[in-house]
């Protein structure tokens, strides 16, 4: 049996789902026990993904790095609240997003709905690069120059649509998981994903044709 045959064999998806569920429960139990080694392991596993998400969400490296530290402090202090019913990264990104909202609320007088609506001071284009041992779908179909163009194109989008694209194609979260992170209805997530793709495709036509075919 080939690897592809085994992967798509009946029951393989259920086995994978069960493995994810067991891992999530193990993480939840470890956080409740305040397992000292577990936090180090989680930081090592998710640090690149978390910082990348915060960079895309804030558009500001200094703010992203400050929030990065605060997210892990929240995980340490409130780890017992994670029940393992969702993947750990879904809970982690939810914490990160809530902290970004809190930070922006302190700096502006806008409402919660307005915090992620449209472009603001933190949505201006920026340049950054994060080393990550686990290539994302964007990375697999593009070279370094194309990845830089993709990052620049994402940062030209408003935060709402940029966030959904990053969570879907960089972090490979399902639409249901994105809905949990953003606390938005599934229909809204689908709409933001579609509109985000429509807005970013013209910017990528000369950069990564294979990526356009994939999405």
Residue 103 is predicted with a pLDDT of 86
Decide if 5 is inside a domain: no
Q: Domain range holding 18?
A: 14-214
Residue 13 is predicted with a pLDDT of 67
CB-based contacts of 207: which residues, under 8 Å, 6+ apart?
A: 142, 145, 146, 149, 150, 153
- Of the listed ranges 37-46, 143-152, 165-174, 193-202, the one predicted with least confidence: 143-152
How far lies 179's CA from each of 11, 93, 170, 183, in Å? Answer: 26, 11, 16, 5
Decide if 7 is inside a domain: no
Closest CA to 167 of 203, 193, 202, 134: 193
CB atoms within 10 A of CB 123: 18
Q: Indicate the pLDDT class of residue 203, thresholds 50, 70 and 90.
A: confident
What is the total count of domains within the chain? 1
Asked if residue 153 lies in contact with residue 161, where contact means CB atoms within 8 angstroms, the answer is no
Decide if 62 is inside a domain: yes
Closest CA to 156 of 196, 194, 116, 193: 196
Asked if residue 159 lies in contact with residue 104, where contact means CB atoms within 8 angstroms, the answer is no
> Token pair of 166, please?
């990053």
CA 133 and chain centroid, separation: 16
Decide if 168 is inside a domain: yes
Residue 14 is predicted with a pLDDT of 75
Decide if 1 is inside a domain: no
CB-based contacts of 66: which residues, under 8 Å, 6+ apart?
A: none
Decide if 150 is inside a domain: yes
β strands within the chain, DSSP E: none
- Average pLDDT of the segment spanning 48-65: 92
pTM above 0.85, yes or no: no
- Of the listed ranges 48-52, 83-87, 115-119, the one predicted with least confidence: 115-119
| CATH code, domain with 124 | 1.10.1740.10
Q: Indicate the pLDDT class of residue 112, thresholds 50, 70 and 90.
A: very low
Residue 110 is predicted with a pLDDT of 52
CB-based contacts of 149: which residues, under 8 Å, 6+ apart?
A: 203, 204, 207, 208
Decide if 3 is inside a domain: no
Residue 99 is predicted with a pLDDT of 94
* pLDDT-above-70 percentage for the chain: 71
Closest CA to 141 of 203, 198, 205, 214: 214
Closest CA to 43 of 19, 69, 25, 23: 69
Decide if 8 is inside a domain: no
Residue 122 is predicted with a pLDDT of 42
φ, ψ at 174 (rounded to 5°) = -75, 165
């Amino acid at each position: 049996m080939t690897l592809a045959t085994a992967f798509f064999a009946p029951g393989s998806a259920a086995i994978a789902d069960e493995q994810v569920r067991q891992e999530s429960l193990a993480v939840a139990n470890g956080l409740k026990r305040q397992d000292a080694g577990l936090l180090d392991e989680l930081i090592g596993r998710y640090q690149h993904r978390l910082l990348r998400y915060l960079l895309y969400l804030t558009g500001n490296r200094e703010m992203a790095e400050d929030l990065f530290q605060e997210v892990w402090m929240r995980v340490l202090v409130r780890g017992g609240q994670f029940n393992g019913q969702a993947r750990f990264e879904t809970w982690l990104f939810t914490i990160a997003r809530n902290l970004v909202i809190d930070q922006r609320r302190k700096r502006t007088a806008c409402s919660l709905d307005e915090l992620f609506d449209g472009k603001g001071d933190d949505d201006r284009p920026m340049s950054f690069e994060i080393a990550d041992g686990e290539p994302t779908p964007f990375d697999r179909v593009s070279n370094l120059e194309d990845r830089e163009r993709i990052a620049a194109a994402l940062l030209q989008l408003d935060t709402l649509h940029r966030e959904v694209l990053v969570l879907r194609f960089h972090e490979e979260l399902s639409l249901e998981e994105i809905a949990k992170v953003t606390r938005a209805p599934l229909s809204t997530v689908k709409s933001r994903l579609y509109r985000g793709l429509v807005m970013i495709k013209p910017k990528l036509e000369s950069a990564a044709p294979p990526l356009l075919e994939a999405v």
